[in-house]
Amino acid sequence: MGSTMFRIGGELDVRRLGFGAMRLPTGPGSDRDASLAVARRAVELGVTLIDTAHMYGWGANEELLAEALHPYPDGLIVTTKVGIARSASAAGWRHDASPDGLRAQVDHALRRLRVDRIELLQLHRIDPAVPLADQLGALRELRTEGKVGQIGLSEVTVTELDEARKTVDIASVQNRYSLVDREHEPVLAACEAAGIAFLPWRPVAGATSGVAADVAAVATELDATPAQVSLAWLLARSPVILPIPGTGRIAHLEENVAAAGLHLSPAQRERLDGLDRLPTQD
């Protein structure tokens, strides 16, 4: 499987299996208490990279993580994403990666997370109405001011990644990718060639019955779960992959983290590598 650690942007040492906080309920009461417990348990289990975003509850997820974990232990990186704003549209959101919009979102994130600097800030989506160089130029200025450390992108093509790197160093890419969804294989290859961290979102996706049977067979051989096999496959797939599976349950969190210790044999890896890329079923 290779190293269990990765250095993002040549500076941030993190374990390669992180945690995505999107699924944590942020409302009051017992659900919130459970979310706080999950976030704290992730850190207890050794997770050093937690992913959130302004879009997750429009800041509520960031506030939840601060309540659970601040003051943050040494070595913990809480990464967030900006570039999307709330909207009255049917989708409920709109692009907003204008320089003023990005600056405002970063300032809000700093306040919600109770930090002076966001060590890894990711552009949630490229705004088609704003020149890419302007979007990344604004983030570069925030980095110069010390409000941002490393800069990442989300849901980009190889061409967009190449274009972005002309303006600023890119430390991470967060694209959808899993055992059964390899649409962004070219982006992963580009990241691997450049030493850029690749954070697959939706890393454990359900599959059509044929693929699920193959994954289940490997899981049985390893006395593991299909989800653990999917995560182990990602870790073995490329040394730059840092999966960020999310869950609202401690038992599921513990299962996911344990996948870092799962070893796939060459034959098992070959079997999983060769699965057809069939549509996922959530």
Active site positions, annotated:
56
Task: Please give the structure tokens belonging to residue 215.
Answer: 């994954």
- Token readout for 159 is 């061409």
Direct distance between the N- and C-terminal alpha carbons of the chain, in angstroms, rounded to an integer = 27
In this structure, are residues 277 and 182 in contact, taking their beta carbons and an 8 Å threshold? yes
> CA 108 to CA 126: how far, in whole Å?
20
Nearest CA to 198 out of 155, 135, 168 is that of: 155
**CA nearest neighbour of 49 among 260, 238, 263:** 260
**At 141, which helix (H) or strand (E)?**
helix 132-144
The full DSSP string for 155-202 is S--HHHHHHHTTTS---EEE-B-BTTB-TTHHHHHHHHHHT-EE--BS
